[in-house]
Structure 1
Amino acid sequence: MKSRYLVFFLPLIVAKYTSAETVQPFHSPEESVNSQFYLPPPPGNDDPAYRYDKEAYFKGYAIKGSPRWKQAAEDADVSVENIARIFSPVVGAKINPKDTPETWNMLKNLLTMGGYYANASAKKYYMRTRPFVLFNHSTCRPEDENTLRKNGSYPSGHTAYGTLLALVLSEARPERAQELARRGWEFGQSRVICGAHWQSDVDAGRYVGAVEFARLQTIPAFQKSLAKVREELNDKNNLLSKEDHPKLNY
């Protein structure tokens, strides 16, 4: 079972997360809550939700080249360096391997848990065609397209990861919860704007992220790591000034 998951997601893991093997996952793929079981099927062609999917896709495609489109392209890069750059000002603290090593490793671990393991069964079962493939368009990040064509659209792994990350960081820095929740929402919505996912993929991904968050609460190793993350992110030497906090796109 484990090899089946790893073979299916290996291209994405290698391309986006080359240092994943240095961090011990909090649980195995088999110990994830089965997303195929609890998620409903993606909308069919006659479903009103599918019409909304198409409307949302073309709304995003219409702003191609805009600042929001460029943000979606930045959000598509889930390397730990980029995720730290995005979320550090939102959480209001440094995130780097020197000052906050436990937080740095947490970012990597949550990508494995939320971005891959938690989505694996539903993605493989449904293998939904992505919108940019259906409409023969380009996405906001063309270098990912060959990999994405071979990877199911439903649910969105990026969205599950962004949701999970926002929830975990909010546990560590509750005073930044509203900013983190907003940025986590934007991170998921970027996938529709980018053209990589349907809106219903993103909606499902948000639920997957929440389910994985609940799953992690039961794991002692996660709780131990979270305590260290909380300590790092609240260390006065790691806090950012208010001027470094971002203005979000409300």
Structure 2
Amino acid sequence: MKSRYLVFFLPLIVAKYTSAETVQPFHSPEESVNSQFYLPPPPGNDDPAFRYDKEAYFKGYAIKSSPRWKQAAEDADVSVENIARIFSPVVGAKINPKDTPETWNMLQNLLTMGGYYATASAKKYYMRTRPFVLFNHSTCRPEDENTLRKDGSYPSGHTAYGTLLALVLSEARPERAQELARRGWEFRQSRVICGAHWQSDVDAGRYVGAVEFARLQTIPAFQKSLAKVREELNDKNNLLSKEDHPELNY
């Protein structure tokens, strides 16, 4: 089931957000922990949790065109270039293919592991309708909507990725853990504000990201890559100072 889902949908989504250079994944799709097995079903229409889902959705829709809505639109773009732009000031170091190539590749690899492989089985099994489809609204990023309509809402892949990314970067730069945790929370919650996901999708995605984080700890190739990422992000030549970059999130 998982493999069939990935054959049809993963290339369509990944090609949009990854660079031309191929990064070798840390594990295969089949080696992911099966999210359909461990996640509970999403709330049904008569479930009190679904009322909360709808309330959260309309709170996000009510701030359409606000600065927070615009941030949600920026967070929706998971291209490595955009994720580097978002998280570089949060981690307090350069993230680019020239100065921090291992970190650059790690961003792409974590998207594949957390955003796609780890969520695929549950997404395919439940194929939950997304809120913008149910209410016939536009999201904060209309150009993604055709793809999203064909991709199950539960759990949120963006959220699993954001959780995984914040945790891994915190391993590399523990002194920035609180800033990374806060920005990771905002990144995940952006999916509800954007209208792309229900709150329960995001809540489940957080757990999927944590499960994938634990899975990666057992893989020597990940540990080797993480050591290089730690070295790059703590190199004094790559650190960003508030004096030189007053816009930093310090």
Question: TM > 0.5 between the two?
Answer: yes
Contact 2:10-2:116 at 8 Å conserved across structures: no
The corresponding residue for 1:37 is 37
The root-mean-square deviation of aligned C-alpha atoms, in Å, is 2.0
Q: Distance in 1 between matches of 2:141 and 2:199?
A: 18
Q: Secondary structure of the equivalent of 2:168?
A: helix
Which deviates more, 180-189 or 237-246? Answer: 237-246
**Structure 1 residues 246 and 38: CA distance shift in structure 2, 3 A:** farther
Aligned-pair distance for 1:46?
1.1
Contact 1:90-1:246 at 8 Å conserved across structures: no
TM-score w.r.t. the length of structure 2 is 0.95
The corresponding residue for 2:244 is 244
Contact 2:90-2:248 at 8 Å conserved across structures: no
Contact 2:114-2:209 at 8 Å conserved across structures: yes
Aligned-pair distance for 1:4?
1.7
Q: Distance in 2 between matches of 1:20 and 1:33?
A: 28
Q: Secondary structure of the equivalent of 2:106?
A: helix
Q: Secondary structure of the equivalent of 1:21?
A: coil
The corresponding residue for 2:92 is 92
Q: Distance in 1 between matches of 2:185 and 2:160?
A: 10
Q: Which runs of 5+ in 1 are unaligned?
A: none
**Structure 1 residues 218 and 20: CA distance shift in structure 2, 3 A:** farther
Contact 1:34-1:118 at 8 Å conserved across structures: yes
**Structure 1 residues 3 and 45: CA distance shift in structure 2, 3 A:** closer
Contact 1:113-1:212 at 8 Å conserved across structures: yes
Aligned length: 250
**Structure 1 residues 247 and 128: CA distance shift in structure 2, 3 A:** farther
What is the 5 A alignment of 1:47-196? 47-196=47-196
Aligned-pair distance for 1:148?
0.3
Aligned-pair distance for 1:9?
2.3
Q: Distance in 2 between matches of 1:193 and 1:248?
A: 24
Q: Secondary structure of the equivalent of 1:242?
A: coil
Q: Distance in 1 between matches of 2:226 and 2:39?
A: 28
Aligned-pair distance for 1:21?
6.1
Q: Summarize deviations over 1:97-122 as a string: whole Å, max 9, x none.
A: 00000000000000000000000000
Aligned-pair distance for 1:58?
0.1
Contact 1:29-1:118 at 8 Å conserved across structures: yes
Q: Summarize deviations over 1:33-92 as a string: whole Å, max 9, x none.
A: 000000000001111110000000000000000000000000000000000000000000
Aligned-pair distance for 1:243?
4.8
Aligned-pair distance for 1:246?
8.3
Q: Summarize deviations over 1:224-250 as a string: whole Å, max 9, x none.
A: 000000000000000001257788999
Q: Secondary structure of the equivalent of 1:152?
A: coil
Aligned-pair distance for 1:10?
3.2
Q: Distance in 1 between matches of 2:197 and 2:249?
A: 20
Contact 2:93-2:240 at 8 Å conserved across structures: yes
Contact 2:161-2:209 at 8 Å conserved across structures: yes
Contact 1:90-1:245 at 8 Å conserved across structures: no
Aligned-pair distance for 1:12?
4.2
Q: Summarize deviations over 1:200-247 as a string: whole Å, max 9, x none.
A: 000000000000000000000000000000000000000001257788
Percent of paired sites with the same residue: 97
Q: Distance in 1 between matches of 2:246 and 2:201?
A: 27
Aligned-pair distance for 1:193?
0.2
Give the ranges of 4+ consecutive aligned residues of structure 1 lying more than 4 Å apart after TM superposition.
243-250
The corresponding residue for 1:226 is 226
Q: Summarize deviations over 1:168-190 as a string: whole Å, max 9, x none.
A: 00000000000000111110000
Aligned-pair distance for 1:155?
0.2
Contact 1:89-1:246 at 8 Å conserved across structures: no
Contact 1:33-1:215 at 8 Å conserved across structures: yes
Aligned-pair distance for 1:18?
3.7
Which deviates more, 69-78 or 16-25? Answer: 16-25
Which deviates more, 4-13 or 196-205? Answer: 4-13
